[in-house]
């Protein structure tokens, strides 16, 4: 494959070397593999190596062996292996050239009616595929979808046998795309289906419009079972030469909430924290989760505007660290419910759902997060007064 199939950048900062924006971090040589996270290091490279979802992997292999690949929609919970399958699939189609990827911060100039909009987005691309998160562009995501697909169609690659090939566009987080973007995605899918294939990836297919779902082959990726996670952990343990005490892997698997990624990350942090492992070792939770439970204990201790202000500052701290507000709210509710009297649970859940909905409609998450906390405080305070006078 020649490089002429690559999409050229008009005005991007990364016009020269792909890694320009990330020069702080020298590229890792294969010998430096030890510095990679285990999650990345032991990620199955081919469809044959897949440890979970072997049957799906085999099916996919057969599918692309027949030389034509439909549009694909992968959906399933986080940490179930969607991305791994996608990469392996791409490698299956294009061979080792798919490994040579580069990261770019690209700027698109989009002509939107009266003005031109500059949209900056990080993409990851090889000669044959491009991967990007269009939803990062906010409400301008539809332009991204249209532009990039058009551009791809312009530079149609020709494979070695002179046959016209196609490129693959991987779109992450399709469920977060706006409705407009999904509509324009649908149209472009039809128009350019000869030139490129789309691989869409999302957590929940319910937020993807029917039109798109029916044009794709839907592949549901289930969360791995605890046994599968244990197997994967033990595999890694063996490769790293670690002693896993009995029950330890199961312990991690249970804590991981059936997310394989989470489990492997936990294993690695445990390894840093204490080795050799003991079977009842505390598995460190994510720092932001601890922070949320700290917030919750703040809320439970006192209910006043002043405390609400304090909570707000802590929520800000989470938002600054890019923890998505929906996840904060979910976690907050989860932690609150643990400490709550049964008769309040229903009402609190109702309000959490209410403000979660508004958060999606609104723009500034903190307004809604705070309104939820305030509502909770107000309910809880009334409850305390009623109960204890």
Partner 1 sequence: MGKRSALVVLSSDDEEIDRSLSSNRGRTRSSSASRLISSAPAKNPGRAKKARVSGSRSSLGSVSTNWDEVRLSFGDFDEVFSGGSKVAAGSGRSNVKELWVEKYKPHSLEELAVHKKKVQEVKGWFEERLTDSKGKSSNHALVITGQAGVGKSATIHVIASQLAATLCEWNTPTPIVWQEHLYNSSTGVQYMSKLEEFENFVERVRKYGLIPSSLSEGSKSSIILLIDDLPVTNGKVAFQRLQKCLRLLVQSTRTPTAILITDHGKADSEDHTAGYLDELQLSLQSAGACKVSFNPITSNSIKKVLSRICKEEQCNVTAEQVDLIAKASGGDIRNAITSLQFFFLKPTPMHSLPSSITPPRYAKGKQAPWSAKGKSDMVNALDNSGSLQFGRDDTLSLFHALGKFLHNKRETEDSMELDGAAFHVREGLSRLPLKMDAPEKILCQAHGQARPIADFLHENVLDFVSEEAMDDAWSVASYLSDADLLLTTFCGMLSRQYEAENVLQSAGASVAVRGVLFGNFHPLPSRWHAVRRPNLWQVEKSSFYNKKEMVNRRFGAYSGTCSSDLTVIATEYSPVYKWLGFRAQGGLEDNVERMSLGDQESEIDDDIEEW
Q: Is 324 in the site for partner 1 (CB under 8 A)?
A: yes
Please identify, using beta-carbon distances, which residue of 231 and 312 lies nearer to partner 1: 312
Q: Is 322 in the site for partner 1 (CB under 8 A)?
A: yes
Shortest reach from residue 194's CB to partner 1, in Å: 26
Range list of H helices, 179-259: 179-191, 210-215, 226-240, 248-255
* Cα 337-338-344 angle, rounded to 5 deg: 40
Q: Is 261 in the site for partner 1 (CB under 8 A)?
A: yes
Q: Is 386 in the site for partner 1 (CB under 8 A)?
A: no
Please identify, using beta-carbon distances, which residue of 214 and 274 lies nearer to partner 1: 274
Please identify, using beta-carbon distances, which residue of 3 and 272 lies nearer to partner 1: 272
Q: Is 209 in the site for partner 1 (CB under 8 A)?
A: no
Residue whose entry in the numeric block shows the structure tokens 């599968």? 228
Query: Burial letters for 316-329: b for 16+ Cβ neighbours within 10 Å, e otherwise?
Result: eebbeeebebeebb
Q: Is 273 in the site for partner 1 (CB under 8 A)?
A: yes
Q: Is 350 in the site for partner 1 (CB under 8 A)?
A: no
Residue choice 361, 386, 387, 388 for contact with partner 1 (CB under 8 A) = 361
Q: Is 136 in the site for partner 1 (CB under 8 A)?
A: yes
Residue choice 22, 64, 283, 300 for contact with partner 1 (CB under 8 A) = 22
Q: Is 64 in the site for partner 1 (CB under 8 A)?
A: no
Shortest reach from residue 114's CB to partner 1, in Å: 9
The site map against partner 1 for 211-250 (x = CB under 8 A) is ----------------------------------------
Q: Is 28 in the site for partner 1 (CB under 8 A)?
A: yes
Shortest reach from residue 173's CB to partner 1, in Å: 5
123 contacts 130 by C-beta, under 8 angstroms: yes
Helix (H, G, I), strand (E, B), or coil: what is residue 49?
A: helix
Q: Is 110 in the site for partner 1 (CB under 8 A)?
A: no
Q: Looking at 3-11, 156-164, 240-248, 364-372, which segment touches partner 1 (CB under 8 A)?
A: 364-372
Cα–Cα distance, 360 to 343 (Å, whole number): 28
DSSP state, residue 340: S
Helix (H, G, I), strand (E, B), or coil: what is residue 158?
A: strand
Q: Is 262 in the site for partner 1 (CB under 8 A)?
A: yes
The site map against partner 1 for 83-102 (x = CB under 8 A) is xx-xx--xx------xx-x-
Cα–Cα distance, 333 to 305 (Å, whole number): 20
Q: Is 36 in the site for partner 1 (CB under 8 A)?
A: yes
98 contacts 131 by C-beta, under 8 angstroms: no
Exposed / middle / buried, residue 62 (Cβ in 10 Å: 0-12, 13-18, 19+):
exposed
Cα–Cα distance, 228 to 213 (Å, whole number): 29
Residue choice 103, 110, 283, 349 for contact with partner 1 (CB under 8 A) = 103
364 contacts 341 by C-beta, under 8 angstroms: no
81 contacts 43 by C-beta, under 8 angstroms: no
Cα–Cα distance, 273 to 252 (Å, whole number): 14
Residue choice 14, 132, 189, 295 for contact with partner 1 (CB under 8 A) = 132
Shortest reach from residue 123's CB to partner 1, in Å: 8
Please identify, using beta-carbon distances, which residue of 24 and 68 lies nearer to partner 1: 24
Please identify, using beta-carbon distances, which residue of 48 and 190 lies nearer to partner 1: 48
Range 280-309, binding partner 1 (CB under 8 A):
284, 286-288, 303-306, 308-309
The sign one gets for the Cα dihedral 176, 178, 183, 188 is negative
Q: Is 173 in the site for partner 1 (CB under 8 A)?
A: yes
Residue choice 149, 244, 265, 296 for contact with partner 1 (CB under 8 A) = 265
Q: Is 65 in the site for partner 1 (CB under 8 A)?
A: no
Query: Nearest to residue 216, comparing CAs of 328, 69, 321?
Result: 69
Distances (CA, A) of 176 to 19, 80, 127, 204, 222: 27, 19, 27, 10, 20
């Amino acid at each position: 494959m020649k490089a002429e199939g690559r999409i050229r950048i008009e005005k991007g900062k990364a016009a020269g070397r792909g890694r320009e924006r990330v020069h702080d971090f020298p590229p890792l040589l294969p010998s430096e593999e030890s510095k990679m996270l285990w999650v990345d290091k032991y990620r199955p490279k081919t469809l044959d190596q897949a440890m979970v979802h072997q049957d799906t992997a085999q099916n996919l292999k057969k599918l692309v062996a027949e030389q034509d690949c439909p549009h694909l929609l992968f959906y399933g919970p986080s940490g179930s292996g969607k991305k791994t399958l996608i990469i392996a699939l791409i490698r299956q189609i294009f061979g080792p050239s798919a490994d040579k990827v580069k990261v770019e911060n690209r700027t698109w100039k989009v002509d939107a009616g009266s003005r031109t909009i500059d949209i900056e987005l990080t993409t990851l691309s090889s000669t044959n595929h491009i991967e990007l998160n269009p939803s990062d562009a906010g409400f301008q995501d539809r332009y991204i979808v249209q532009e990039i697909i058009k551009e791809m169609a312009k530079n149609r690659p020709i494979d070695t046998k002179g046959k016209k090939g196609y490129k693959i566009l991987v779109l992450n987080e399709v469920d977060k795309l706006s409705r407009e973007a999904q509509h324009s995605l649908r149209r472009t899918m039809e128009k350019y289906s000869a030139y490129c294939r789309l691989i869409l990836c999302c957590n929940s297919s319910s937020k993807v419009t029917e039109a798109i779902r029916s044009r794709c082959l839907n592949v549901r990726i289930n969360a791995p079972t605890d046994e599968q996670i244990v197997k994967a952990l033990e595999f890694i343990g063996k490769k790293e030469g670690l002693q896993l005490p009995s029950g330890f892997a199961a312990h991690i698997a249970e804590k991981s909430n059936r997310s394989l990624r989470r489990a492997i990350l936990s294993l690695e942090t445990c390894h840093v924290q204490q080795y050799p492992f003991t079977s009842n070792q505390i598995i460190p939770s994510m720092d932001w989760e601890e922070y949320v439970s700290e917030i919750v204990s703040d809320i439970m201790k006192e209910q006043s505007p002043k405390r609400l202000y304090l909570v707000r500052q802590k929520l800000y701290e989470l938002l600054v660290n890019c923890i998505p507000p929906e996840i904060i709210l979910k976690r907050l509710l989860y932690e609150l419910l643990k400490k709550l009297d049964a008769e309040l649970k229903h009402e609190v859940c109702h309000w959490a759902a209410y403000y979660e909905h508004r958060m999606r409609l609104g723009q500034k998450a903190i307004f809604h997060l705070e309104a939820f906390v305030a509502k909770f405080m107000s309910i809880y305070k009334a409850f305390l007064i009623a109960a204890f006078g």
